[in-house]
Amino acid sequence: MTAAPAPRRFDEDAQAAQRVVAALTEAFSAKVVGQEHLRESLLIGLLTGGHVLLESVPGLAKTTAARVIAEAIDGQFRRIQCTPDLLPSDIIGTQIYDAATASFVTQLGPVHANIVLLDEINRSSAKTQSAMLEAMEERQTTIAGTVYPIPEPFLVIATQNPVDQEGTYELSEAQTDRFLLKEIVRYPSPEQEVEVLTRRDAGLYDRDRATTPVASLDDIRRLQRVARDVYMSRDLMLYASRLVGVTRDAANYLPSQVARLIEYGASPRATIALCTSARALAVLSGRNHVLPGDIADLAHRVVAHRVILGFEAASAGVTADVVIDAALRAVRVP
């Protein structure tokens, strides 16, 4: 493995980035008990300009977490409750006739915000889901032939409930691939649950009291620049590429009982996402260089939802995490 550059003192932007990260962490922890993994994924999404897909049962503070992050960076927050009758125009906007002026005026939809929460995205139709593709990938919407840019920074946080599948529309592979990370939100520990109750009894969960901003949108843009400048050796890029490549050439690298579960492996977009996320994780950890552990820590969140499994895996209840575990064992750490 190529040695990382000699440690050097962070420049002014990097030092400021650490202060912003610390302030955001404190603001998040003040409103959300536990869920450190969730906080990390949301901040990685902010630092990279990527989007995050959350999967869990209801009641695990996903909406609260999204709102807290938005308020902490003094950003515009919008929540969209997805339903089968939700239309694309309900998300991106539409033109409305103004009788006073006898003309049509454009009303931008809720996607024109800094942080957008798509609650239960799999309850919206495929047509409505596809309306988000341009917004998520191109950072713009088109209404009546006119292009409207979306504010930066821009983060889409989509949630889906894995339990109740009645009246849902499974995300297509193209839509799923637009999400930088997929986070499985876990139940809190008994101690954390008691802390939630204690805070409620103490009146600390006032829905009307917003989180005091601890950073600005300019601070987030600075964080994004710092993340892009984080050093990543060629050996680590190759390590990330091989991890993803194993899912495409599983027969030559993985045990046969795992390889036969894979129908399609992850695309090069997964490698790009893995390297980009690793740089952001290094910033959150206070480093100016990526370590192999950063890549391994993110492999499940970045690659698993991009691997398509066959019928045998579905019938056996096997998830893509089994494939990622096998890939991590198969690829030598530099």
Domains in the chain: boundaries:
230-334
- Class of domain 230-334 (CATH, top level): mainly alpha
Determine the pLDDT at residue 115.
95
Determine the pLDDT at residue 3.
47
Phi first, then psi, for residue 149 (nearest 5°) are -70, 150
User: Structure pTM?
Assistant: 0.89
Closest residue by Cα to residue 117 from 162, 143, 164, 81: 81
Report helix, strand or coil for 119: strand
Measured CA to CA, the distance from residue 287 to residue 272 in angstroms comes to: 20
Mind listing the pLDDT tens digit for each residue in 163-192? 766 556 677 788 888 899 999 998 888 998
Q: What is the mean pLDDT of residues 193-208?
A: 78
Mind listing the pLDDT tens digit for each residue in 210-230? 788 999 999 999 999 999 999
Determine the pLDDT at residue 165.
61
Measured CA to CA, the distance from residue 202 to residue 29 in angstroms comes to: 16
Q: What is the mean pLDDT of residues 59-71?
A: 90
Q: Are 134 and 174 in contact (CB under 8 A)?
A: no
* C-alpha dihedral, 69 to 71 to 73 to 79, nearest 10°: 60
Determine the pLDDT at residue 208.
62
Phi first, then psi, for residue 267 (nearest 5°) are -85, 175
Q: Are 33 and 186 in contact (CB under 8 A)?
A: no
Measured CA to CA, the distance from residue 67 to residue 188 in angstroms comes to: 19
- Share the mean pLDDT of the chain: 87
Measured CA to CA, the distance from residue 132 to residue 195 in angstroms comes to: 37
Q: Tell me the residue type at 50.
A: G
Distances (CA, A) of 192 to 31, 86, 142, 195: 13, 36, 44, 5
Determine the pLDDT at residue 204.
66
- The partner residues of 155 in beta bridges, in order of sequence, read 115
